[in-house]
Amino acid sequence: MKKRKSIMGLAALTLSASLFTACSSGGGGSTPAASGTEGAAESTGPKGNITVITQRTDIVDTVFQDYAKKFNEKYPDVHVEFEALANYEDQIKIRMNTNDYGDVLLLPTSIPLADTPTFFEPLGTMDELSKQYDGLEEREVDGKAYGIPITINYSGVIYNKAVFQKAGISEPPKTIHEFMKALQAVKDKTDAVPLYTNYAAGWPLTQWEAVLTTVAGSVDYVNVTQPTKDDNFVPGAPHYELYKVMYDAAKNGLIEEDPTTTDWESSKADLANGKIGSMVLGSWAIGQIKSVASNPDDIGFMPFPTNAPERIVPLADDYTLGINMHSENKEAARAWVDWFINESGYPSTEGGGISPVKGAELPEILKQFDGTDVKFQAQTPAPDNLKGLVDKIDKDAEIGLWQPDFKKTIIEAAIGNRPESYDDIMKKLNDAWTKSRAKFAEKQ
């Protein structure tokens, strides 16, 4: 599972012919590493043993071992060992009660921003590093950057192009009506599950919240408009329209036959090989799905359907990579951080997103949007008076925007396992939001 909260400082990325020209001339692989890592390894270069802790249990014994070999071609005096944690957030927090939490690791999202310097080594000033990387704002304290994104994710619908073609769908649907028609066609004309929810795993349902910006058609909505409005779960509002797609798909039998028995790992293979038509996910999953596909070119990406005038695909940082402040080999750890971000190729391959390195070449899967009206943009950051307000309201109201609970309720109601209607569920959420927002509005 990957982090999905939006990055705040990433410049808007509109896919146009001029952009691709600029990217091709920039040359992703030729991007220079950060200061201190250029050139071949010398005897005076970094030395020692480092432990890199990752969440990628699926490739730690394969791809990461290849990375280590390539890294050692440049830095032969650094020995890299890997540890993969299956439940990264919970397990790394326990480790961080001691000084023994590796040398290089992903910064846990649950660690308060203000506490970051207690655990992590600063990588440089924002003024310096922001010239080279996007998405550093996630872990910036007092003008210093403590983590670099391992990739920049984009969220939408990952689908099997062969399944959609078999259903007679030649172009990815744009509007919600077109999308629902496409799902029905997949059901009627193929044996594939049109839209797989991964209900049983729970966390994949939270991926839907990441496309709220697309449904709203505005980069201002999530952090600027939403916290100033009471009616966020009423007909016409982005949350209502977003989760109505989930409800209608479930009600019309366009999801898995028994949602309670879904399995995340097997779902990736089933989407890859045509047993599933589509899933709502972040781009981080693309590489994982392609890796188990008999024909990787069958895997496509489309923006989540929207009725908004503008089609915006939200950009968000994944985990950020940093250095344990207690590491005894910080120079070697820094060499790994710089090499992994700049030279391993992970951000746009295994990471499945866009490299945080400015000027890096865009993934092949996004070039289909060259010259279209699709815009890849980061959400507008909250102004100071609204900073953190959405999270405060969400927590106080016990809504769980980034939790699976009310999404599960929606699916259960749609398939007849609960008595509520969709409007009943939305009214309950809206009432809770309005009540909690009033508390915080009084304090502003």
Crossing angle of helices 238-251 and 176-189, rounded to 10°:
10
User: Looking at the domain that runs over 32-151+319-360, which CATH code has it been given?
Assistant: 3.40.190.10
**pLDDT band at residue 329 under the 50/70/90 scheme:** very high
Task: Give domain limits for the chain.
Answer: 1-27+153-317+362-444, 32-151+319-360
Q: Who wins on pLDDT, 187 or 291?
A: 187
CATH 3.40.190.10 for the 1-27+153-317+362-444 domain, yes or no? yes
For position 85, what pLDDT does the model report? 96
Residues recorded for the chain:
444
At 182, the amino acid letter reads: A
For position 441, what pLDDT does the model report? 76
Tens of pLDDT, residue by residue over 93-144, are 999 999 999 999 999 988 888 899 999 999 999 999 999 999 898 889 999 9
Q: What is the side-by-side strand order in the sheet with 144-145?
A: 124-125, 144-145, 140-141
**pLDDT band at residue 38 under the 50/70/90 scheme:** very low
pLDDT > 60? residue 368: yes
Q: What is the rounded CA–CA span in Å between residue 354 and residue 360?
A: 8
**Percent residues over pLDDT 70 in the chain:** 90
Beta-carbon contacts of residue 164 (< 8 Å; ≥ 6 apart): 172, 182, 186, 277, 278, 300
